[in-house]
Amino acid sequence: MTHDHAPAHPSRPLSTLLAPIRGQLIAAALLAALGAALSLVPLAGVAALGANLLSEQASPWSSGAIIAVSVACLFASGVFSVLAELLAHLADNRITGHLRLALARHLMQVPLGWFGGRSSSAVKRALQDDIGTLHSLVAHFFTTLGRVLGAVTAAVGYLMLMDWRLALLALLPFPGFVLFLRRAMAASAQHMGPLGERIAELENAVVEFVNGMPVLKAFGNRHDPRYQRAVSGFAHAFDQFTRPLVVAMAKANALIAPATVLGVVLIGAVLMVALGWMTPLQVLPFVLVTPGLCAPLLLLHAITHDLHNAVAAAQRVLDLLHTPVLAQPVRAQHPRDNELRVEGLGFAYDAQKPILSGIDFTLQPGTTTAVVGPSGSGKSTLARLLLRFHDPSQGRITLGGVDVRHIDSATLYGRIGFVLQDVRLLRASIRDNIALGRPDASQADIEAAAQVANIHQRILQLPRGYDAVIDDDAVLSGGERQRLSIARAVLIDPPLLVLDEPTAAVDAEGEVALQEALARFAKGRSVLVIAHRLDTVMHAEQILLLERGVICERGSHAELLAAHGRYARLWALGDYASALEHDCQQPPAQAPAPC
The site for ligand ADP (CB under 6 A) is made up of 349, 355, 373, 375-381
CA-to-CA distance for 341 and 339, rounded, in angstroms? Answer: 6
> Does residue 311 contact residue 14 with C-beta atoms inside 8 Å?
yes
Which helix (H) or strand (E) segment holds residue 359: the answer is strand 354-363
Q: In what order do the strands lie in the sheet with 340-348?
A: 354-363, 340-348, 394-399, 402-403
Residue 77 or 377 having the CB closest to ligand ADP = 377
Is residue 354 classed exposed, middle or buried when 0-12, 13-18 and 19+ CB atoms within 10 A define those classes? buried
Phi-psi region of 281 (alpha: psi -120 to 50; beta: other; left: phi over 0): alpha
Q: How many helices (H) and strands (E) does the chain have?
A: 23, 10
Residue 112 or 295 having the CB closest to ligand ADP = 112
Residue 420 or 455 having the CB closest to ligand ADP = 420
Query: Shortest distance, CB of residue 196 to ligand ADP, whole angstroms?
Result: 24
Return the ∠ at Cα 202 (arms to 197 and 204), rounded to 5°.
95
Sign of the four-CA dihedral 471, 474, 475, 478: negative
> Does residue 373 contact residue 580 with C-beta atoms inside 8 Å?
yes
Residue 256 or 386 having the CB closest to ligand ADP = 386
Residue 245 or 355 having the CB closest to ligand ADP = 355
Query: Shortest distance, CB of residue 371 to ligand ADP, whole angstroms?
Result: 8
Query: Shortest distance, CB of residue 390 to ligand ADP, whole angstroms?
Result: 8
Query: Shortest distance, CB of residue 307 to ligand ADP, whole angstroms?
Result: 36
> Does residue 550 contact residue 595 with C-beta atoms inside 8 Å?
yes
Query: Shortest distance, CB of residue 353 to ligand ADP, whole angstroms?
Result: 7
State the alpha helices, DSSP H only, in 256-397. Answer: 258-274, 280-289, 294-321, 379-386
Residue 81 or 381 having the CB closest to ligand ADP = 381
> Does residue 336 contact residue 400 with C-beta atoms inside 8 Å?
yes
Residue 225 or 587 having the CB closest to ligand ADP = 587
> Does residue 355 contact residue 592 with C-beta atoms inside 8 Å?
yes
CA-to-CA distance for 423 and 110, rounded, in angstroms? Answer: 19
Residue 430 or 497 having the CB closest to ligand ADP = 497
> Does residue 173 contact residue 260 with C-beta atoms inside 8 Å?
yes
Residue 196 or 358 having the CB closest to ligand ADP = 358
Query: Shortest distance, CB of residue 575 to ligand ADP, whole angstroms?
Result: 18
Query: Shortest distance, CB of residue 437 to ligand ADP, whole angstroms?
Result: 24
The β-bridge partners of 526 are 496
The β-bridge partners of 348 are 354
Query: Shortest distance, CB of residue 114 to ligand ADP, whole angstroms?
Result: 9
User: What count of Cα atoms within 13 Å lies in the side-chain half-sphere of residue 294?
Assistant: 15
> Does residue 344 contact residue 175 with C-beta atoms inside 8 Å?
no
CA-to-CA distance for 351 and 393, rounded, in angstroms? Answer: 9
First to last CA, the chain: 55
Query: Shortest distance, CB of residue 1 to ligand ADP, whole angstroms?
Result: 34
CA-to-CA distance for 96 and 88, rounded, in angstroms? Answer: 12
Residue 164 or 349 having the CB closest to ligand ADP = 349
Query: Shortest distance, CB of residue 17 to ligand ADP, whole angstroms?
Result: 29
CA-to-CA distance for 492 and 414, rounded, in angstroms? Answer: 6
Query: Shortest distance, CB of residue 533 to ligand ADP, whole angstroms?
Result: 14
User: What count of Cα atoms within 13 Å lies in the side-chain half-sphere of residue 199?
Assistant: 14
Residue 12 or 118 having the CB closest to ligand ADP = 118
* Residues 6 or more apart in contact with residue 574 via CB below 8 angstroms: none
Residue 92 or 501 having the CB closest to ligand ADP = 501
Query: Shortest distance, CB of residue 531 to ligand ADP, whole angstroms?
Result: 11
Query: Shortest distance, CB of residue 424 to ligand ADP, whole angstroms?
Result: 16
Residue 176 or 358 having the CB closest to ligand ADP = 358
